[in-house]
Amino acid sequence: MGAQHIGIAGNEKANRVANDGTGKQKVEIDVGLELKETYNMADKYCAKKWQEKWSNSKTSHYKSIGPKVKTGNTSLYKNRRYEITINRLKFGYCRLNAYLYRINRHPTGL
């Protein structure tokens, strides 16, 4: 089988490395993480940071209802427009006078 690769530099090197590796007890090359593993690690890191920020937040009224952040698909509604409106109300970023006052668009916030 090895004779098929005679004269092809890359294949001969691959054969040599493979033959050298057959006598070893363990793999000595770090192949790194697979893409999915990397994404999972990044997701966990971001969720941890988000949770820390959420836990230390003093301004959110929603925190008393939902003390833990939720990652992944947390959609409760089929209608995207409705979900956006509900979330804006939950987090206080809607066109109510209190929010408009915070962004200097309403005189009193009442």
* Residues ≥6 apart with Cβ < 8 Å to 68: 51
Q: Which two tokens stand for residue 49?
A: 């940071």
Distance in angstroms (rounded) separating the CA atoms of residues 2 and 4: 5
* Residues ≥6 apart with Cβ < 8 Å to 61: 92
pLDDT at 94: 80
Domain count, the chain: 2
Q: Which two tokens stand for residue 67?
A: 């003390």
Q: In the structure, what pLDDT confidence band is assigned to residue 28 with cuts at 50, 70 and 90?
A: confident
Contact between 77 and 86 (Cβ < 8 Å): yes
Q: Which two tokens stand for residue 71?
A: 């990652």
Contact between 70 and 43 (Cβ < 8 Å): no
pTM (2 d.p.)? 0.42
pLDDT tens digits, residue range 88-101? Answer: 887 777 888 888 89
Residue 97 resides in a domain: yes
Q: Which two tokens stand for residue 55?
A: 């836990």
Quick one: average pLDDT of 3-17? 74
- Do both 62 and 80 map to the same domain? no
Residue 103 has pLDDT above 80, yes or no: yes
Domain containing residue 102: 75-110
pLDDT tens digits, residue range 54-79? Answer: 888 876 666 777 778 777 777 777 88
- Do both 61 and 90 map to the same domain? no
- Do both 99 and 84 map to the same domain? yes
Residue 2 has pLDDT above 50, yes or no: no
Length of the chain: 110
* Residues ≥6 apart with Cβ < 8 Å to 104: none
